Chains A and B, each alone.
Chain A
Amino acid sequence: MNLAAWNTTLQFAGVSALFALSIYASLWTGVLSLAPVFFGAVSAFTFGWATMTLGLTPVAALALGAVGGGLLGVLTAFLVLRLESHYLAMATIALVLIGRVLVINMEGFTGGVAGTLAPGDLGTWFWCLGCLGAAAYVLARLRGSRFGLAASAVREDPAVAQSLGISPRAVQLVGFTLSGVFGGVAGVLQASFLQFIGPDTFYTHLGFTTLAAVVLGGAYHWLGPIIGAVVFTALPELLRGPLGEFDSIVTGLLLVVIIVYLPRGLVDLRRFRLLRGRGKAVVSE
């Protein structure tokens, strides 16, 4: 690959890292959710509509996307958080499916099957890294906070967390809100990088590959999803040369191998600590 291709690939890696952080934000609180794809879709089409029809500046539309994503996150949380693990995961997948049906049928707003242009000058390194950095900063600050500890507790065992006076529902609501904001911003950036969005831009494929990136990188530290997303965006590009259309087979197999042999992902502080061999008691992340 030449330099320009790498530039593009890495910019998309930055956007997928934001999507990955969006999945991570709810996974941190013990909720496996593909809703970020839906948040991204809503924000992206809102972005396209706001810049084209309303004539909003791209930055204002980005803010709109972030706020809208957050609100959508809260709304979704109220809708789905009462469900148990499997059902919750599937409900968020159902949300992604409904999203596509809505995109296809709301032609005036989304352009229908044909899709729509999304003009805007946010598709630059500045906005990509800026948003990613802001999201990482928020997560890093939250990590050691009361919320961070509560989130980890809820993830390990909601019933135990509840007996310690933590409300799993409230913690997960915060997780979903963060997930909504990150997903919304990621959707806007994706739209302005692609310049063109359609019903298949934000669909199951994006959700599953992003989830794969989170698992690969490690879902127990905010750095994991970012590294996973970069690897997972760059790897298919590297494999496309020698393997052609079969690059996604490697993606799939990699996913199985990782979850079987490296269940905590590449960024696993617990393993690092164990490897360093200090005699300290190992605290579960």
Chain B
Amino acid sequence: MVFLEAAVVTLVIQQLVNGLALGAVYALFGVGFALILTKMGILNVAHGTFATWGALVAYFAVAELGLPFPLALAAGVLAAGIIGVLTDLVAFEPLRRRGAGTFAPIISSIGMWIVLLTVAQAVGGGSATSFPDGAIPAGPIRLGGLVILPAQLLNIAAALLVAFGLHLALARTRFGAAVRAISADPRSATIVGVNAARTLRVVAFTAAAIAGLAGVLAGLSSNNVSFDLGEALLLKGFAAVVVGGYGDIRGAALAGFLIGILEVVSAQYISSGFRDAITFGVLLVILVARPQGMFGERRLVRA
């Protein structure tokens, strides 16, 4: 009896660990997505493809060029960042200059999404592959009755590091102050000497690079690199932002972890078929019951 209870407890903790590791990828992606959404005011549908491209580039670096995994990871992150900046230049910068409303960037991001996804499908092929064995150590770490994979630890560490690093950068540094000033009022920010164009470029790069990192880690931990890898991340990342609320990226990170746990636990105890339905159901419930998110606050609308 005592043994049984211990086994049940271990199983539950194991599920929590698995959920955290899965949620870490969502949290990571959600943080970058939230950065663009809240600081630049753009709902970037193409953000998922940044993750796809990060994973594809890292995969090619490992499998075709034979680079060691850390270098390939860096290459993927860098490539995603560059694609993010290019997307910003082509699709968002002209609209910003014109002062277009909130819908126009969504539509041009849909255009970029179609382009980047189609090219990814053509380059990466329609079928899925995975990072070669031995890209990172595969031997599980045993802790009591728990089994933890190095990739899972990597996910969790990366998510925590990026979320808190980004939060500190936004809250404590001059650069963060500039970003917040631009998101509050671009014109006033420019008047007091903030270089809006350059700052936004850095924000676009950072957000896309984080997406690239999330993409590589997602491909690594699910053993699956394909052209639609980013699409699932986009939905979960969006859910994380909505559930976490905007205003604080730590909310998005926390919500990402929660969604991961929810998915693993519901797959284990309810049904794996309805896993996505449960996630999106929670998303709808939060949207309806508390549109400002769990940690958000209401904002006033003025004429």
**A residues whose Cβ falls under 8 Å from a Cβ of B:** 32, 79-80, 82-87, 89-91, 93-95, 97-98, 101-102, 104-105, 157-160, 162-163, 208, 211-212, 215, 245-246, 248-249, 251-256, 259-260, 263
Residues on the A chain within 8 Å of B98, using CB: 263
- Top 3 closest A-B pairs, CB basis? A255-B111, A252-B114, A159-B303
| Cross-chain contact B110 with A255 (CB below 8 angstroms) | yes
Q: Are A101 and B277 in contact (CB under 8 A)?
A: yes
Complex Cα gap A83–B112 (Å): 26
Whether A159 contacts B301 in the complex (CB less than 8 A), given A249-B118, A252-B113, A252-B115, comes out as yes
Contact of A89 among B41, B43, B94, B288 (CB under 8 A): B43
**B contact patch SS:** helix
Do B107 and A212 have beta carbons less than 8 Å apart? yes
Output the residue of A79, A157, A255 with the most chain B CB within 10 A. A255
Q: Which residues of A contact B118 (CB under 8 A)?
A: 245-246, 248-249, 252
The residue from A91, A102, A208 contacting B284, defined by CB atoms under 8 A apart: A91
List B residues at the A interface (Cβ < 8 Å): 37, 41, 43, 45, 90-91, 94-95, 98, 100, 102-104, 106-108, 110-115, 118-119, 122, 235, 238-239, 242, 273-274, 276-277, 280-281, 283-284, 287-288, 291, 301-303
Residues of B within 8 A of A208 (CB): 45, 110, 113-114
By beta carbon, the residue of chain A nearest B288 is A79
Chain B nearest CB from A233 CB (Å) reads 15
In the assembled complex, which residues on chain A have CB atoms less than 8 Å from the CB atom of B284? 79, 91, 94-95, 98
Whole-angstrom CA separation of A94 from B283 in the bound complex: 8
Closest to B291 in A: A83
Most buried by B among A79, A253, A254: A253
Q: Contacting A256 at CB < 8 Å: which of B37, B102, B112, B301? A: B112
Asked if residues A90 and B107 are in contact (CB atoms below 8 Å), the reply is no
In the docked arrangement, what's the CA distance between A212 and B45, Å?
Answer: 14
A258 vs B90: C-alpha distance when bound (angstroms): 12
